[in-house]
């Protein structure tokens, strides 16, 4: 019988890193072919939906804002509708048109915009201006911009996992910049364990989530992109109803059947805040999670059984314990 070997590939993706690790016993050539196909699929999703690429369908939709609908395929329609659904779930705190605020929020330059600047752009954050009908997407107001960053990366994770499943891979973990999908158990039969970064010290894990079988794990955190100015931390998860960073939570990790579902719920909970966020987790079937408040308190949902609190000395890389 052929030896079961762990194969891995790491590559730049969506402003961060993507990786895939899987166990296979059908030879290195086949495994390398599978890994490269997964990378190609991830890049396809990035190229198709990045608002920063001139040739993407999102850029085409934005250029046509206020002028004409853009014909889209079924895949694009599903993602846009999912983003609009998330806007409804959060009462507008998430909005797929919030990307227009990147004009004034520069997290690399550590610049805090003025209240007047935010107020001037906020009317262009308007999910109701996004029309999906008859195989088209139309931004009904000039100046409105679509951004699928809130759903695109998690979708790419699931697409990669689906490719691995189609190749009959039985044990794998896909990690695209912290959004994860597992297949089966580790090669040694133990559960996968995904470490969740301590928001106050990214060199350490705060806790780990253990998964058996196929699961999606996603984390939304204020530590991912941000800066401190005059003692206040400003981060990239903006509340679309105010134009300012959401407050109250430092990190939200969710576990669901897919990375897509885990990701949308992690974003929703972060934006809703502690009480409403926990209530959403408790009311959503087959989804669990754990919140870390800005004060450092860990708040797991009632069904978060595969949750392991870790001592601060545990380091975060690699996150598969």
Give the closest residue to 290 by CA, choosing from 272, 316, 264, 308.
308
pLDDT digits 0-9 by tens, 53-110: 999 999 999 999 999 999 999 999 999 999 999 999 999 999 999 999 999 999 888 9
For residues 92 and 240, is the Cβ–Cβ distance under 8 A?
Answer: yes
- Report whether pLDDT(129) > 60: yes
Domains and CATH numbers, the chain: 1-51+150-175 (3.10.520.10), 57-139 (1.10.3980.10), 191-321 (3.10.520.10)
| Pairwise CA distance, residues 65 & 227, whole Å | 32
| Pairwise CA distance, residues 73 & 251, whole Å | 34
Query: Per-residue confidence at 311, pLDDT binned at 50, 70, 90?
Result: very low
3-state helix, strand, coil in the chain (%, to 5): 30, 30, 35
For residues 219 and 252, is the Cβ–Cβ distance under 8 A?
Answer: yes
- Range list of β-strands (E), 246-286: 249-256
Question: Residue 26, exposed/middle/buried by CB under 10 A (0-12, 13-18, 19+)?
Answer: middle
Structure letter (DSSP) for residue 299: E
| Pairwise CA distance, residues 273 & 292, whole Å | 11
pLDDT at 310: 45
Q: Which residue has the higher pLDDT, 274 or 231?
A: 274
Mean per-residue pLDDT, 123-151? 95
For residues 266 and 289, is the Cβ–Cβ distance under 8 A?
Answer: yes
Query: Per-residue confidence at 213, pLDDT binned at 50, 70, 90?
Result: confident
């Amino acid at each position: 019988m052929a030896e079961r070997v762990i194969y891995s590939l790491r590559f730049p993706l969506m402003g961060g890193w993507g990786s895939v690790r899987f166990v296979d016993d059908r030879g290195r050539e086949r495994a390398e072919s599978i890994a490269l196909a997964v990378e190609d699929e991830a890049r396809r999703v990035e190229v198709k939906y990045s608002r920063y690429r001139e040739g993407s369908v999102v850029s085409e939709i934005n250029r046509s804002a206020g002028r004409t609908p853009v014909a889209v395929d079924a895949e694009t329609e599903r993602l846009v509708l999912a983003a609009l659904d998330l806007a409804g779930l959060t009462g507008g705190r998430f909005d797929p048109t919030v990307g227009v605020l990147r004009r004034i929020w520069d997290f690399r330059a550590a610049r805090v915009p003025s209240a007047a600047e935010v107020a001037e752009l906020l009317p262009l954050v308007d999910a109701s201006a996004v029309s999906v009908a008859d195989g088209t997407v139309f931004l009904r107001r000039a100046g409105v911009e679509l951004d699928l960053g809130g759903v695109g990366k998690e979708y790419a994770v699931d697409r990669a996992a689906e490719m691995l499943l189609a190749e009959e891979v039985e044990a794998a973990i896909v990690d695209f910049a912290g959004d994860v999908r597992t297949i089966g158990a580790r090669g040694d039969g133990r559960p996968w364990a995904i470490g969740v970064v301590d928001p106050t010290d990214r060199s350490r894990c705060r806790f780990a989530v253990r998964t058996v079988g196929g699961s999606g794990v996603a984390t939304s955190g204020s530590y991912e992109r941000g800066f401190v100015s005059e003692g206040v931390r400003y981060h990239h998860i903006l509340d679309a109803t105010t134009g300012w960073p959401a407050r109250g939570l430092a990190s939200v990790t969710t576990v669901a059947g897919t990375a897509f579902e885990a990701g949308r719920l992690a974003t929703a909970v972060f934006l809703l805040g502690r009480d409403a966020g926990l209530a959403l987790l408790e009311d959503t079937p087959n989804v669990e999670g754990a919140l870390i408040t800005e004060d450092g308190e860990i708040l797991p949902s009632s069904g978060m059984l595969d949750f392991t609190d870790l001592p601060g000395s545990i380091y975060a890389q690699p996150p598969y314990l």
